[in-house]
Each structure stands twice: as structure tokens, then as C-alpha cells.
Chain A
Amino acid sequence: MNCQDMEKFIHVYLDREFASEDRADFERHLAECAACRRLATFEQRFKQQLRTSLGPPYLRLDEREALRLRIRSTLENAAPRPASHPAWRWAMGLVPATGAAALLVGLALLGRDQAEKEASGPARTFQVESQDPRTVRAFYRDKLGFQVDPPRFNDRRTTLMGARIGQLETREAAHLLYRHGDQPFSVLMFKPHGQAFSGKTARLVGNTKVFYGAEAGRPVATFSHRGVGYSITGDLPAHVLDGLVRDVVLPTTFPSQDLPVDAVPVGAPGGR
């Protein structure tokens, strides 16, 4: 160990990163060499100065508390990453017959999309912006492997706004964006691929079994109609969502032409 090595490795020494034998070498040299001792003292002081000048305290107590609360509210408004959720692994097919759970989990993605939309304005999330179901249906043509007929709602305050390709589990789904008054919400349409929907929170609405749940603090209603799955969700009170479910009008057939025909309310024919 000579003076040049000392200069090169003084930080490694002071940061206590030397193996013990190197350290001993280093210290032997320090004991013999006043110039290097001076260098070491200087560098040590400099390190301390950095720590004092750059280190805490950064925040007053009240600032810290405010920061904590802000982070807490950020977390409360966030869904955990869906793929990390144990239920998500069911959804990937490791545990069979959990259709409803899987769908609810999948909707976390939808929730996240919505959060993004709120943050960055609708322009980023719409792939097609239109109140006309025909335009939206045309947008989805040949994209998803099933025909997407945007559901209608009887209530005139509920209008279609646009659509995009969304994601459910590993598959693409139709993500339709609506507005009820000035409250945006989403309808997800997808092919259930034979999953049986089940769950304790099911209610019979008309003759359609609707599964209610919540994802990321948002209520979700899921049901299937003529081979297509529907999920309705949004930052809405549960009773508003319930009202939407009762109000939705689904096509009785999936017409191949562009005009919707024979649209009927979900539960009307046949009663309950």
C-alpha cells in the first residue's frame, strides 16, 4: 500500500467496504504516513459535512403528516396491480369455476384505465369518440372475434361517449364509455369462454342473474347475455349502478347488419 493507493481507495476505506486484510494494510500505512492521515481526516470530515448538509431533517412534523396523508389517499384510490393478486392467479385458470371472481379481478384493469383517463383527459383513452352506436360497432368490427353492439339505456340522461379496446385477463375486450348525467362510467363486453358466473352477491334482475362486487372501491355489476359478458362499473354510488343495470337495453340478436333491431330490456320477456 503506497500513498497513491491511499488516494485511490480512501473512500472505500472510509465507507468501510474493505475486506479486513486490506483494511489492516491500509491502517498500517496510515500509522506510518502523516500526509495520508491528513487526507483521511479531511475526507472523513467531508463525508460528515455531506451528511449534515444533505441529510435530515427535511420536513417539519406537520409537513410530514400532510405528506403521509397524501400518500395514504393516493393508495386508497389505487387498485393493487391485478396480476399480483392471488385471485388473479385463479383467473389465469389454475383454479377452475371461479368465473365471477375472475371477472371482478379483471375489472381492476378497467378501473385503472379510468383513473388514467381522469388524470389525462378523455382524449388519451378514447379510440373512437361517438354517441352513435353504429360508429362504435363499426370501430370494433373484426377486432375482437365477436360483434360488439353497444347496449342502450332507456334513460335519456345516459349516453354513449366512445369506446376503446380494453383488456380482460389476457384477452382483449370492448371497453365502452358512457355518461350518466355528468357521471362517466364504463361497460366492458367480452367473451366469457365458458366460465360459469357464480358468487354470493348475485341478484336476479328480471330473468338475468347479475353479480355485484367492487373493485378498487368502485361497484361492479357483471352478467351475461346471449353469449357475451357485460360488466358495468364506474365511480358511482351502488344504487346508481343498480339503476343502470335495471335500465340497460340489450339486443335480442346480434345482427349482422349495421342497424340495431329488436332491442329489449334485459329482464322484460318472461318476467323473473
Chain B
Amino acid sequence: MTGSEGPSGINNRTQGFRPTRSQMRLGREEKRRDEFEGLLLPHLDALYGTALRLTRSPQEAEDLLQDACLKAYRFMDRYERGTNFKAWIFKILTNAFHSRYRKNQRERELRRRVEDGGHQAHVLAQGPTREAQSAEERALDHLMSEDIQAALGQLPADFRMAVILSDVEEFSYKEIAEIMDCPVGTVMSRLFRARRMLQGLLLRHAIDRGLVEAGDAVEDQESSGLEAPGKRAKVADLTEYRSQRKR
């Protein structure tokens, strides 16, 4: 201000230290942050891992995680102390993922087709029948983590999510339904289809790499003798697919 004489209009600088309201406010802020960190840190790896599997890129995983943490921190008053923090923050991560990648039309399209059970979904979701099981079993021994990660990456995001939440993070169906904001029945069907799709993709991968013989599954079918006619038809499809790939 202009024109003031002597000591300026400010008068409380000489009165010794007393925390100002703003300092008290900052103190509360710090306490709040510490509390949040205390809740967050035990789940940091799991959250990062899930973000990594969802985004398939370390950089994007980190961005997504930061985004989710910021949202969680801002909405922390909605978290009821003593309840399941892990499920709560995974839900925020899921929502953050969806809002970040909402524009990904291709992803949505793929999920819709898979969930509607359209033609392509049938090919993808075929997975192993009991007949193919023996080949599957052998394939499993040869698969590398990278193969499984790559196969997971081919699934629609919601399917990836369901698998991670169930098989890696071991959430219950009820918790997954809560996190993914869908009915428990949807969780069950997503998990079922996702695992089938993974098995199908991995078996094909193993066959393509020559890790298992394409003929194994068929031999198995003939030897085990428990197949219903309907199931034979399915295997025939798979054999046809394989002969196409071999050409």
C-alpha cells in the first residue's frame, strides 16, 4: 500500500511464533497425506502390477497409478475407515483406467463382440475342450511368463482385469463385482471366458512354436473315448484351423 509511515500496516510479525491458521491447515494436510500413504503403500506393488497388465506399458502404468492415487487422495473422505481399502483403491484404479481409455473404440468393440458371443468371439473363446486337454497340459510345461503375458494382452480390458483381480490379487467374486461395477454373474462369465480364451491362445501359440504336436489333441480324443458327438464337431473345427495354419 502506498503512503503508510513507520512500521507498515502489518503488525503481527513481532509477536513471537504462533502457528497461523494456514500453518495449522498445512499440518492437517500432512497428517492426512501420511495416513493415506500408510494405507496405500502395502498395495503399491499390486496396484502397479495391475496397472501394468491393463495398460501393457510401464510408462502408462505409472501415469495411470498416479492418476488413481490422486483421485483416491481427493476422495479419501468417502473411504470408510476399517473397511477394505484394497478393494476401494482397486475400484478407483479401474475407474481411472476406464476414463483414460474410454476413447479406445477398438477395445470396446472387441469386448462387445466377445460378450455377445459373436463369431470372432467363438474362435477366440474356443479354448481347450477335454479332447485338447492333453496337448494343453503339455503346452503348459513349455510356456514362458512372456507368452502368458502376451496372451493376456490380447484379451479385452475387462477380461484382463477379471483375471488379474481373481488369479493374481485373489479378490472374491463379490469384491470383483464391486470393483468392476457389474453383477457377480458377469464376473463369473468374464472369468470363464477369459480363462478359456487364454488357454486357446496359449495352445495355438504352443502349436505354432512346435512345442506340442498339433495331432496330439486328436489322438487324445480318439484314445480317451468319452467324447459326445457334439464335442467331436468342436475338435474337428480346431483341426481344420490347425491344418490352415500349417499350410
Contacts and interface: CB of A to CB of B under 8 A. Distances in A.
Interface of A: 7-8, 11-12, 15, 17, 35, 38-39, 42-43, 45-47, 49-59, 64, 67-68, 70-72, 74-76, 78-81, 84-85, 101, 104, 154, 199-201, 203-206, 208, 212-215, 217, 219, 242, 245-246, 265-268, 271-272
B88 interface: no
Interface string B64-92: 01100110011111100000000000000
A129 to B, nearest CB: 28
A86 to B, nearest CB: 9
B62 A206 contact: no
B89 to A, nearest CB: 12
B22 A51 contact: no
Contact of B36 (A51, A75, A245): A75
A267 B2 contact: yes
B120 interface: no
B163 A267 contact: no
Contacts of A205: 1, 8-10
A39 B130 contact: yes
A52 B145 contact: yes
Nearest to A41: B137
Nearest to A211: B21
Contacts, number: 173
Given A217-B26, A265-B1, A39 B70 contact: no
Contacts of B65: 67, 71
Given A58-B45, A200-B20, A78 B70 contact: yes
Interface of B: 1-4, 8-12, 20-23, 25-26, 29, 32-33, 36-37, 40-41, 44-46, 48-49, 52-53, 62, 65-66, 69-70, 73-78, 130, 133, 136-137, 140, 143-145, 148-149, 152, 163-164, 166-168, 172-173, 188, 191-192, 195, 198-199, 224, 226
Contacts of A212: 20, 22
Given A46-B140, A74-B69, A81 B9 contact: no
Count chain A CB atoms within 10 A of each CB in B1, B46, B78, B198 and give the residue with the most: B1
Given A50-B148, A203-B10, A203-B11, A214 B140 contact: no
A81 B74 contact: yes
Contacts of B199: 46
B25 A213 contact: yes
Contacts of A214: 22-23, 25-26
A35 B130 CA distance: 9
Contact of A265 (B2, B20, B29, B164): B2
Contact of B20 (A53, A74, A75, A201): A201
B168 A51 contact: yes
Contact of B44 (A54, A67, A101, A272): A67
Count chain B CB atoms within 10 A of each CB in A58, A67, A219 and give the residue with the most: A58
B9 A203 contact: yes
Contacts of B40: 71
Contact of B9 (A45, A53, A206): A206
Count chain B CB atoms within 10 A of each CB in A43, A52, A81, A104 and give the residue with the most: A81
A38 B167 CA distance: 20
B75 A81 contact: yes
Contacts of B29: 80
A51 B149 CA distance: 11
Contacts of B20: 200-201, 212-213
Contacts of B11: 203-204
A84 B78 contact: yes
B45 A35 contact: no
Chain A to chain B: the 5 pairs with minimum beta-carbon distance, closest first: A267-B1, A81-B74, A53-B145, A214-B22, A206-B1
B198 to A, nearest CB: 7
Contact of A271 (B3, B52, B70, B133): B3
A38 B128 CA distance: 13
Contacts of B75: 81, 84
Given A84-B74, A204-B9, A268 B3 contact: yes
Contacts of B167: 47, 50-51, 54
Contacts of A52: 145
Given A39-B133, A201-B22, A46 B9 contact: no
Count chain B CB atoms within 10 A of each CB in A17, A46, A204 and give the residue with the most: A46
Given A55-B49, A56-B46, A17 B172 contact: yes
A213 B21 contact: yes
A42 B45 contact: no
